[in-house]
Structure 1
């Protein structure tokens, strides 16, 4: 077993997790508690379809109050923002955090959580993967430029782009790709610094990671240059019936889906501590090195309880 397993938490920045009269500024003490408990990272997700603290705003606040925990997006949807402006924002967060930023990105997916976002952003749905890859290429160029440059892709065209503030991380923060379609696996291996999927079956994680590694090798890249991560929903409770009931309520509130349907499309691990730890180890045995835990709680008090419970599992992941 590798002894470099990291575990982070998804900050409950959505109103569904801190609603009910809670002041969202209480998310900052929550983040500090996660850092104190030994979590390696704090991630935030991105959407316009449900009320939440905007992802880059949240990361800016976290950069100011935390000291050593890594900060990440899980996942950022670049099409929601103008690409040059987003590059400046990300470079600024990386600079202000002292190089602690990781940017996991996605292109959205069919259904009510994908296409409507493109309509709100006034960006066409076709060629969304090309748009994502070109945006990332533009960011990387901007983060290293020392003088104005031009960028001409299939979809993005810019002339006389002025250099950005330099990120703290040379070349810019690492960029991971979310997704597990064959095309996403190939693109991860060719172009990205990490992989952040959420397959329900650890066996599918292993198969996907093997495909990523083959694509990296074919592109002349070392497979070990790609961080294998996992996005997984977790709820720890000694009572399996109560655990199922609580996570079902979470799934319905966040996704509008019953738990049994969510489990068909995303990694979900619930139950007593030993069972949760054992299931997570199945993913680390399959190759995952950085786990991003989304805690199943619909109030900040419940999130705190799950944070403490999940922290007890950390030593059991290696």
Structure 2
């Protein structure tokens, strides 16, 4: 079982501190034995840009895997992004994992496309082709021809640490996303609100992989989960409600209908996470529900203690 955490790159979390303290947070996460450090991506809220954050963390860590969760390729030019990702992979000694997403409907989707001057329509096909282009560039392909991107001559590009490039995971749990994950991606990073939905989705991913001639174990089963460990379930819910309102503009009661949450005392959080691992999750990435960096560090220590207890 791998357990990782998200770096609190949102401005609300580090505004009262020096943002360079995030480097210390990364170091402490590795010292505490976490397997990975992930970063969010958005243009709709002030935050440290994810690839910049990972480039800063790479030389001050040695073991911990560095990930995006989820990178939104639509925000970037694909050739330059392939170069940036290969560079981070090199600087980290091959520790990069790139989880990607196509954006979401409503206030978290279309505005990103408008800001990036990319059509909202056919965004999933565009995402898949962008990842295929990255892989072509990393492999040294001389040309690429697709529906959205066509290059008669690709430049000689920086090669990533591994010849095949960093693993690319997909976030999403719609039937189409599950099928695409099994066919084309190296991992799955959803956040379904119920463990039963995770188990059903994972079986669909593995079925799609087998039908595409891939071994089912080729897809890493990961989980994006919001975590708050407190003295009581009520305290945890109040703190997480403040977090979701600041992060999404939505109360916890609305957000937990679409995302995975593990809230409450250490035993309650462990029990919830155990239900997801029983459903098949093997790499859990926790987003800590805390608005201040000091509280983030406190939650990090509580989760580290829970991890050390091996109670799930």
Coarse TM-score class (shorter-chain normalised) = over 0.9
- Partners of 1:198 and 1:163 lie apart in 2 by 37
- Partners of 1:11 and 1:241 lie apart in 2 by 25
In the other structure, the counterpart of 1:14 is: 10
Count of residues in Structure 1 that have an aligned counterpart in Structure 2: 311
In the other structure, the counterpart of 1:163 is: 156
1:136 aligns with 2:131: yes
Could you say if the C-alpha distance between residues 269 and 292 of structure 1 is closer, same or farther in structure 2, counting changes exceeding 3 Å? Answer: same
- Partners of 1:317 and 1:259 lie apart in 2 by 26
SS in 2 for 1:112: helix
SS in 1 for 2:107: coil
1:242-261 paired onto structure 2 within 5 Å: 242-261=235-254
User: Once the 2 structures are TM-superposed, how far is the Cα of residue 156 of structure 1 from its aligned partner?
Assistant: 1.1
1:114 aligns with 2:129: no
User: Once the 2 structures are TM-superposed, how far is the Cα of residue 170 of structure 1 from its aligned partner?
Assistant: 2.2
Superposed CA offset, 1:83-104 (max 9, x none): 0000000000000100000000
TM-score w.r.t. length of structure 1: 0.96
- Partners of 1:91 and 1:317 lie apart in 2 by 37
User: Once the 2 structures are TM-superposed, how far is the Cα of residue 317 of structure 1 from its aligned partner?
Assistant: 5.2
- Partners of 1:278 and 1:180 lie apart in 2 by 23
Q: 1:126 aligns with which of 121, 125, 133?
A: 121
- Partners of 1:190 and 1:74 lie apart in 2 by 20
In the other structure, the counterpart of 1:50 is: 45
Gaps of 5+ in 1: none
User: Once the 2 structures are TM-superposed, how far is the Cα of residue 165 of structure 1 from its aligned partner?
Assistant: 1.0
TM-score w.r.t. length of structure 2: 0.98
Superposed CA offset, 1:263-304 (max 9, x none): 000001110001101110100110000001000100001100
- Partners of 1:17 and 1:284 lie apart in 2 by 29
The alignment yields a C-alpha RMSD, in angstroms, of: 0.9
Q: 1:73 aligns with which of 68, 75, 99?
A: 68
User: Once the 2 structures are TM-superposed, how far is the Cα of residue 191 of structure 1 from its aligned partner?
Assistant: 0.1
Quick one: higher RCO (CA 8 Å, sep 6+), 1 or 2?
1
Does the aligned pair in 2 maintain the 1:193–1:227 contact within 8 Å? yes
In the other structure, the counterpart of 1:179 is: 172
Superposed CA offset, 1:116-154 (max 9, x none): 000000000011011100000011111011xx6221111
Gaps of 5+ in 2: none
